[in-house]
Amino acid sequence: MDRLIQRRTVLAAGSIATLAPGLLRAQSYKAEYKMSVVGNRPLGTSVAAFRWAELVAERTQGRINIKVYPGSQLVGGDQTREMVSMRQGVIDMVVSSTINLAPQIREMNLFSLPFLMPDSRAFDALTQGGPVRAALDAVLAQRDAVSLAWSENGFRQVSNSKRPVRKPDDLKGLKIRFAAGPIYSDIFNALGANPLQMSWADLQPALATGAVDGQETPVNVFLQSKLDAVNQRHLTLWNYVADANIFKVHKPVWESFSSADKDIVRASAVQAAQEHTASTRAGLGAGGDRSSLDELVKRNVKVEELTESEKSAFGAATKAVYEKWTANTGADLVRMAEAAVAKRS
């Protein structure tokens, strides 16, 4: 009798697995997936992370529950540790920038090569399909990260509390904060500045007290963070590098999802990335929309819009840095990127 009951139990379990594989798969999902992102709303990167989680929840009717941990709090505020923590299984998903990935993944320094990308079309040529995007996604895959979407966090501009900057000599002696990565130290040293690496959390107090003279972030981040309120009165538009954000999932988590749910998670990431890029680019002059630049003026920030000749002077001053970091990043990858930029539509 006992053997008969056991046999019926095994057959019943097999029937459930055959008839309702989706049910069993859903039961294997985590109650909560942890997503890390630097900063908090209203910063665009953080807004994009929350938007991704929101879209996934809506489209799965809450079956996939993603909780966003802003301020990189899962790694004690050190955004450069997010990738390592994801590989360790502490973090399930991350929206992180190439700047913060570069200390562990040398190929991500591509986006920090000075004056490689002159405009957003060049940025898109590297990130929205094509051989460069494929190569970088493959690099991430080797580290158990599945890349789903890329967005633009903005071309990084330089601001300071002391004086206008229109030529390399204007940066001499200024204490400029950078987020992470020795390439930024090399760039600002080449321009005669005094570069200081500092977390985002420590930046505003340092600017307010004058411990740091300036910083380099995109215009949208400058406005959202109200850096004009901490003595940043001079801002130079020089487009020296562009920061990319990557929407990633830990490979074991990704492989645990059904095919249908993978489609949902990916499509949600793509939409959040597209919305983020559109928001980043708004108000900077394209199509005649200068609302972000006008807002800077309203806040009594003096904006220096460099000519192509003036930008070329900065490019010439940092040429040795570009060449040094081409070798470090990977010459083949850089040549591929240069070709993509040259052919951009």
Q: Residue 336 is part of a domain; what is its CATH number?
A: 3.40.190.170
Would you place residue 16 in the very low, low, confident or very high pLDDT band (cuts 50, 70, 90)?
A: very low
Q: Which of these, 115, 138, 142, lies nearest to 341 by C-alpha position?
A: 115
How high is the pLDDT of residue 317? 98
Question: Is residue 25 over pLDDT 60?
Answer: no
pLDDT, position 28: 87
* Contacts of 303 by beta carbon, 8 Å cutoff, 6+ apart: 235, 236, 237, 293, 296, 297
| pLDDT band per the 50, 70, 90 thresholds, residue 9 | very low
Q: At CA 331, angle to CA 328 and CA 336, rounded to 5? A: 135
Residue 76 lies in a domain: yes
Instruction: Classify residue 23: in a domain, yes or no.
Output: no
- What pLDDT was estimated at residue 228? 98
pLDDT of 78 = 87
Give the total number of structural domains in the chain.
Answer: 1
| Closest by CA position to 200, among listed 318, 55, 31, 43 | 43
Question: Is residue 171 situated within a structural domain?
Answer: yes
Q: What is the mean pLDDT of the chain?
A: 92
**Cα–Cα distance for residue pair 310/196, rounded to 1 Å:** 25
Question: How confident is the model at residue 4, as a pLDDT?
Answer: 43
What is the spatial distance between Cα 244 and Cα 149, in angstroms, rounded to a whole number? Answer: 10
In whole angstroms, give the CA distance from residue 235 to residue 312: 18
CB-based contacts of 190: which residues, under 8 Å, 6+ apart?
Answer: 317, 318, 320, 321
Mean predicted confidence (pLDDT) in 320-340: 98
In a domain, 8, yes or no: no
- Whether 251 shows a pLDDT value over 60: the answer reads yes
- Split at pLDDT 50, 70, 90, the class of 180 is confident
pLDDT at 39 over 90: no
pLDDT of residue 18: 42
Q: Is residue 17 part of a domain?
A: no
**Lowest-confidence pick of 17-31, 49-63, 117-131, 169-183:** 17-31
Whether pLDDT at 263 is above 60: yes
Mean per-residue pLDDT, 81-97: 96
Domain extent, residue 57, equals 30-282+289-342
pLDDT above 50: residue 6: no
What pLDDT is recorded for position 201?
81
pLDDT at residue 83 above 50?
yes
Burial of 19 per CB tally in 10 Å (0-12, 13-18, 19+): exposed
> pLDDT digits over 284-312, tens only?
999 899 999 999 999 999 999 999 999 99
pLDDT at res. 61:
97
Average pLDDT over residues 3-10: 44
Q: Is the peptide bond before 118 cis (omega within 30 degrees of 0)?
A: no
pLDDT grade, residue 79 (50/70/90)? confident
Between 5-14, 222-231, 334-343, the lowest mean confidence (pLDDT) is in 5-14
Q: Is residue 205 part of a domain?
A: yes
Is there a domain that residue 22 lies in?
no
Range in 36-45, 170-179, 226-235 with the lowest mean pLDDT: 36-45
How would you classify residue 64: left for phi > 0, otherwise alpha for psi between -120 and 50, otherwise beta? beta
- Would residue 270 count as lying in a domain? yes
With 60 as the cut, is the pLDDT of residue 8 above it? no
Q: How far apart are CA 4 and CA 116, in angstroms?
A: 72
Q: How confident is the model at residue 80 (pLDDT cuts 50, 70, 90)?
A: confident
